[in-house]
Chain A
Amino acid sequence: LAKTTQPISMDSYEGQEVNITCSHNNIATNDYITWYQQFPSQGPRFIIQGYKTKVTNEVASLFIPADRKSSTLSLPRVSLSDTAVYYCLETGGFKTIFGAGTRLFVKA
């Protein structure tokens, strides 16, 4: 059973900023929040990880409020190639649990 809750699907248009929010109602104190991206016929690919506040890399930003009950993955100016499934996870031990993820569809 997934620990996190995220929307099943989202639609966007090219050039828009996309924000995907995940709920972490019972996150463990030592757990990090990690996001993965998965394209069809490929394995998941690590996007970003954080513990608290904001983390930014060349691909995305991750916002985590002080209470850590949620996280928001922000993808700036999406393109058609960002169409994929996005997973949020609580990662601490080795037993990683993936939910069904959010299917993002980017339209021209």
Chain B
Amino acid sequence: NAGVTQTPKFQVLKTGQSMTLQCAQDMNHNSMYWYRQDPGMGLRLIYYSASEGTTDKGEVPNGYNVSRLNKREFSLRLESAAPSQTSVYFCASSHGQGGQPQHFGDGTRLSIL
């Protein structure tokens, strides 16, 4: 009963390095999301995928790319990491139409030096 699984859990990068965060869900959900959460703040939406084969920008997409690999998997890529991207990244999934409750992973803690 895994739900939403994110890998890795922790990562340290140097400025300019690239990195892909992985997310997989086993609930047969149609929609998937990537958020970032900075200390003391709420989550901000980076990208979302309403259904397999589609992706759309959220509130803070600059510096990121995403791939909806299949219905289960949604990856987030940092092409050239910057210190401002140091954050905790959460992946989530939901059944489908907007507004449905989202199920979250436990996050990836990313530090960029």
Do A43 and B42 have beta carbons less than 8 Å apart? Answer: no
**Which listed segment binds B: A12-20, A64-72, A74-82, A90-98?**
A90-98
In the complex with contacts A43-B90, A43-B107, A98-B42, A92-B48 CB distance below 8 A: no
In the complex with contacts A94-B48, A94-B50, A99-B42, A46-B103 CB distance below 8 A: yes
A105 at the interface (CB under 8 A from B): no
Do B44 and A98 have beta carbons less than 8 Å apart? Answer: yes
Tell me, in angstroms, the Cα distance from A51 to B106 when the chains sit together.
28
How many A residues face the partner with a CB closer than 8 A? 24
CB distance from B19 to the nearest CB of A (A): 19
Do B99 and A93 have beta carbons less than 8 Å apart? Answer: yes
Do A94 and B92 have beta carbons less than 8 Å apart? Answer: no
A63 at the interface (CB under 8 A from B): no
Do A96 and B45 have beta carbons less than 8 Å apart? Answer: yes
**Chain B residues with Cβ under 8 A from A10's Cβ?**
none
Do B33 and A43 have beta carbons less than 8 Å apart? Answer: no
Residues of B bordering A, CB below 8 Å: 4, 31, 33, 35, 40-45, 48, 50, 56, 58-59, 90, 92, 98-107
Q: 30 A-B residue contacts at CB 8 Å?
A: A30-B99, A32-B99, A34-B99, A34-B101, A41-B106, A41-B107, A42-B107, A43-B105, A43-B107, A44-B43, A44-B102, A44-B104, A45-B104, A46-B101, A92-B99, A93-B98, A93-B99, A94-B31, A94-B33, A94-B48, A95-B45, A95-B48, A95-B58, A95-B59, A95-B98, A96-B33, A99-B42, A100-B40, A100-B42, A101-B42
